[in-house]
Amino acid sequence: MEQPRIQEHDENQKEFRDILSKYGLTQAEAAALITNETGQSVGTRKIRSWLAGVSIPSSRKCPKWALTALKRTTENLSEEK
């Protein structure tokens, strides 16, 4: 029962990390991009919890909406360059 949650957590986290790396974004920059895209307040602390290992108590699964928002905004960034 716990395995699918961990797998999805890992997949979302890997994709999130890949986007940060590809565009050279800091956690604070990612938080600002997601906040601007969605209108939901996302802080650096929340980003940190999404990137924390699943065994860490403060770890949270990165929600799909945040990942989608980050992908959308970074695509826009690359188009502007």
Q: What confidence score (pLDDT) does residue 24 get?
A: 94
Domain ranges in the chain?
6-80
Q: What confidence score (pLDDT) does residue 55 get?
A: 87
The per-residue pLDDT string of the chain (81 residues; one tens digit each, 9 = 90 and over) reads 456 566 766 889 999 999 999 999 999 999 999 999 999 999 999 999 999 988 899 999 999 999 999 999 998 776 554
Cβ neighbours of residue 23 under 8 Å, at least 6 residues apart? 74, 77, 78
55: number of CA atoms within 13 Å, CB side? 0
3: number of CA atoms within 13 Å, CB side? 1
Please, what is the average pLDDT of the chain? Answer: 88
- DSSP class of residue 43 equals -
